[in-house]
Amino acid sequence: MPKTLGMRCRECGEEYPLSPIHVCELCFGPLEVIMNWEEIAPRVSRKSIQAGPPSMWRYHDLLPVEGPPCVGHNVGFTPLVKAERLGKKLGLNNLYIKNDAVNHPTLSFKDRVVATALTKAREFGFDTVACASTGNLANSVAAHAAEGGFKAYIFIPSDLEQGKVLGTLVYGANVLAVKGNYDEVNRLCAEAGGKYGWAFVNITLRPYYGDGSKTFGYEIAEQLGWRAPDHIVVPCAGGSLISKIYKGLNEMNRLGLLENGVPTRMYAAQATGCSPITTAIQTNAEVFRPQKPNTIAKSIAIGNPADGYVAMDTVRKSAGWAADVTDDEVIEGIKLLGSTEGIFTETAGGVTVMVTKKLAEQGRFGADDLVVIAITGNGLKTQEAVQGHLGAPVLIQPNLDALDQALQTDKLLQVV
Ligand SMILES: *Cc1c(COP(=O)(O)O)cnc(C)c1O
Ligand SMILES: [Zn+2]
């Protein structure tokens, strides 16, 4: 029996055969893969997972692919680190960072969704993959396409950071820089998908792609000793990651893998300059209003999020909340994480750190609650954001006198 049975509309429940489709024909709701839990449950245990590889594929049984991965064998199982010094600053005694800034191979959580989507693309028989990206997805699709011998067409907004553009070109993909924002890129790609028959990983294959993010949640729980945390703060772009983390935790619980059920409250983090999801949550709105993005946090600058409603629903169901922060705060957050924990995150991480600070100041976490923050990307890719905000090295001649002199100036020893 296969692990996957078909697809179901999240809104109206209409069912479809397993295929590369992503929206319901009746109501345009997002489709989800129906997993064959009767088949899967008997073979999954803590032991079976622990016997797996130190990668996201230790959860292969819970992912919507049938065969072994065709790319990305080493993706995932990133460090979960206790953040003592940042925790102290925020008044949190049990703060943890799930650090996908060091995810293999392209240094963001997107490697999880791409490894899943490309494995499914091959199972469906596609030889060409594509994506509409705010940067990290571009890097990851290009890299994994190279590894798997797929042809790749990558669509990005033309104003992306250099590191993200170079970090796509280096893998030999066809890169198309579209003169427009992400939402315009996405609209073009939705049309191109129909015309050229390519597998757009985050459009055509979105239900499979999204489920790759469940592994971010599985890992947090396993790494905490098979416990779901009290709170998780997650940066939101299309709104998929936050909902799939929660879905993953609930699946683990239903399989009897967790000690404590799922007490977890989910918190959405966005930049003020592109905050359709957090604005809707904070104003208790039924619908979110699409926005025109204007923020340095480009990786999460999606004005019309495909899974916006799913993200809102996840936050409400879990009794969580949301907050957004300005671009100045994003820079402050990057510096705060770097100087307290030695982790260099990209702009999305700056958002998450400062949103966590804001939520802590609002009294949403108990001092001893277990709080996990999702650091989803690497700072080396968004250097423009902090350029000019970090000071400069103290320039000296190569002798001890010069060093002595330099040490006497108060430019040095500015320990945070
Ligand atoms: C894509 C991305 C996100 C958000 O992902 P969604 O699933 O679209 O909400 C968060 N952080 C980084 C760094 C990303 O690249
Ligand atoms: Zn429907």
Cβ proximity of 232 and 268 under 8 Å: no
d(CA 201, CA 364): 36
- Which of these, 38, 78, 37, lies nearest to 55 by C-alpha position? 78
How many angstroms separate the alpha carbon of residue 355 from the centre of ligand 2? 34
DSSP string across 243-277 = HHHHHHHHHHHHTT--SS---PEEEEEEETTB-HH
pLDDT tens digit at each of 416 positions of the chain: 889 999 999 999 999 999 999 999 999 999 999 999 999 999 999 999 999 999 999 999 999 999 999 999 999 999 999 999 999 999 999 999 999 999 999 999 999 999 999 999 999 999 999 999 999 999 999 999 999 999 999 999 999 999 999 999 999 999 999 999 999 999 999 999 889 999 999 999 999 999 999 999 999 999 999 999 999 999 999 999 999 999 999 999 999 999 999 999 999 999 999 999 999 999 999 999 999 999 999 999 999 999 999 999 999 999 999 999 999 999 999 999 999 999 999 999 999 999 999 999 999 999 999 999 999 999 999 999 999 999 999 999 999 999 999 998 766 655 44
Q: Which residue segments constitute the domains of the chain, with CATH numbers given? A: 4-71+110-209 (3.40.50.1100), 80-107+214-385 (3.40.50.1100)
Q: What is residue 416's predicted lDDT score, i.e. its pLDDT? A: 42
Residues in Cβ contact with 211 at an 8 Å cutoff, skipping those fewer than 6 apart: 33, 63, 64, 116, 244
Per the structure block, which two tokens stand in for 122? 């091959």
How many angstroms separate the alpha carbon of residue 29 from the centre of ligand 2? 5
Q: Work out the burial of residue 261: count CB atoms within 10 Å of its CB; fewer than 13 is exposed, 13-18 middle, 19 or more buried.
A: exposed
Amino acid at 279: T
* Ligand 1, atom 10: closest residue by C-alpha: 235
DSSP string across 130-147 = EEE-SSHHHHHHHHHHHH
Cβ proximity of 153 and 128 under 8 Å: yes
* Ligand 1, atom 14: closest residue by C-alpha: 299
Q: What is residue 194's predicted lDDT score, i.e. its pLDDT? A: 85
Looking only at the bridges linking them, the beta strands covering 94-99 and 128-132 are: unpaired
How many angstroms separate the alpha carbon of residue 359 from the centre of ligand 1? 20
Q: What is residue 370's predicted lDDT score, i.e. its pLDDT? A: 98
Q: Which ligand does the CA of 28 lie closest to?
A: 2
Beta-carbon-side half-sphere exposure of residue 145 (alpha carbons within 13 Å): 29
pTM: 0.96
Amino acid at 195: K
Q: What is residue 413's predicted lDDT score, i.e. its pLDDT? A: 56
Q: Which atom of ligand 1 is nearest to the CA of 238?
A: 8
How many angstroms separate the alpha carbon of residue 389 from the centre of ligand 2? 48
Strand order in the sheet with 15-16: 15-16, 4-9, 31-35
d(CA 246, CA 216): 10
Q: What is residue 246's predicted lDDT score, i.e. its pLDDT? A: 98
Q: Which ligand does the CA of 15 lie closest to?
A: 2
**CB 139 less than 6 A from any atom of ligand 1:** no
Q: What is residue 1's predicted lDDT score, i.e. its pLDDT? A: 82
How many angstroms separate the alpha carbon of residue 24 from the centre of ligand 2? 4
Looking only at the bridges linking them, the beta strands covering 128-132 and 199-200 are: parallel
Q: Which atom of ligand 1 is nearest to the CA of 240?
A: 7
How many angstroms separate the alpha carbon of residue 240 from the centre of ligand 2? 18
Q: Which ligand does the CA of 31 lie closest to?
A: 2
Q: Work out the burial of residue 114: count CB atoms within 10 Å of its CB; fewer than 13 is exposed, 13-18 middle, 19 or more buried.
A: buried
Q: Which of 99, 102, 103, 108 to mutate to test the pocket of ligand 1 (most atoms within 8 A of CB)?
A: 108
